[in-house]
Amino acid sequence: MEVLGIGDNVVDKYVHLNLMYPGGNAVNFSVFSKKLGVDAAFMGTFGNDQEARHVEQVLQELQIDVSRCRHFDGENGCARVTLENGDRVFLGSNEGGVTRMYPLQLTEDDKAYIRNFAVMHTGLYSHTGHLLPELTQLGVPLSFDFSDDFEEEQVDKYIGYADFAFFSCSHLTDEAAQDYIRSKWAGGNQLIIATRGSSRSMAYDGTRFYFQEPMVVEAVDTMGAGDSYIAAFLIHYLREKNVQAAMIEGSRFAAESCLVEGSFGYGVPYN
């Protein structure tokens, strides 16, 4: 199995530590997938600063294929972060830097490359909404992360392209989350999954709901927990086609990732 993350790469700058860690939804998906034992690639845009060099170097060290990435003059994506009792708190960002400034455009070679993967993952922060019509014509299942600050206009615009749609719904009650994802199901074989922090996650296939309690740990850092859930869920679902088993693996791996600083470590000082 080979999987592909498309879109955002960032550094998360922990202001209380003066350390920056590589991350971003698409990068995290690729790295977590690699940690789970599958080949992974990342397609996105790097700037020409210290932050970009660090992320790219780490991905190469982890043997993530970055051969289809673009490079532009400008700031790499970065966010300012702190921790409160192990829970990451965002303080601001440059909204993706060059990823936002130079939207990814696909060549025919890119499309041929993408067709080799078992699944591709992107999301709201990846600035790839304009690519969804093209991506869904390539015969590869598409996973899309709506994160936790989704807007109704965005959801309604993109949800129909996703084979797997992920939402972070810790701000909703159990009943409200069920009502919401039921209302957004777009038909066919689509699966919608809602993670809810320390409350149970849920999945909906158009017919029934599935539920999974989180695995409780004393979190060091919750950064990347949702992305680790997504990676483990997708890999196990594609292997076994069992929603409940995939949710169990997602919860297990998300708990494990909460014991690591940053999304997946590799922090270095920044200027």
Average the pLDDT over 177-193 and give the result.
98
- How much is the pLDDT for 224? 94
- How much is the pLDDT for 246? 98
Name the band, by pLDDT with cuts 50, 70 and 90, for residue 150: very high
Q: Is the pTM of this model over 0.85?
A: yes
- Tell me the two tokens of residue 221: 């850092």
Name the band, by pLDDT with cuts 50, 70 and 90, for residue 86: confident
Name the band, by pLDDT with cuts 50, 70 and 90, for residue 89: confident
Which among 56, 93, 80, 123 is positioned nearest to 266, based on CA atoms? 56
Give per-residue pLDDT as tens, 102-120: 999 999 999 999 999 999 9
* C-alpha span between 69 and 113 (Å, rounded): 12
SS3 213: coil
Rounded to the nearest 5°, which phi and psi values hold at 200? -65, 145
- Dihedral sign, Cα of residue 50, residue 55, residue 60, residue 61: positive
Fold classification of 2-269 is UDP-N-acetylmuramoyl-L-alanine:D-glutamate ligase (3.40.1190)
For the chain, helix (H) and strand (E) counts, in that order, are 9, 14
Give per-residue pLDDT as tens, 17-50: 999 999 999 999 999 999 999 999 999 999 999 9
- How much is the pLDDT for 153? 95
- How much is the pLDDT for 88? 82
Average the pLDDT over 212-222 and give the result.
93
CB 144 within 8 A of CB 123: yes
- In the block, tokens 């196990």 appear at 236
Per-domain boundaries in the chain: 2-269
* C-alpha span between 263 and 80 (Å, rounded): 14
Average the pLDDT over 69-77 and give the result.
98
- In the block, tokens 């993967």 appear at 117
Rounded to 5°, angle at Cα 268 from 235 and 77:
65
What integer best gives the mean pLDDT of the chain?
96
- Dihedral sign, Cα of residue 122, residue 29, residue 222, residue 14: negative
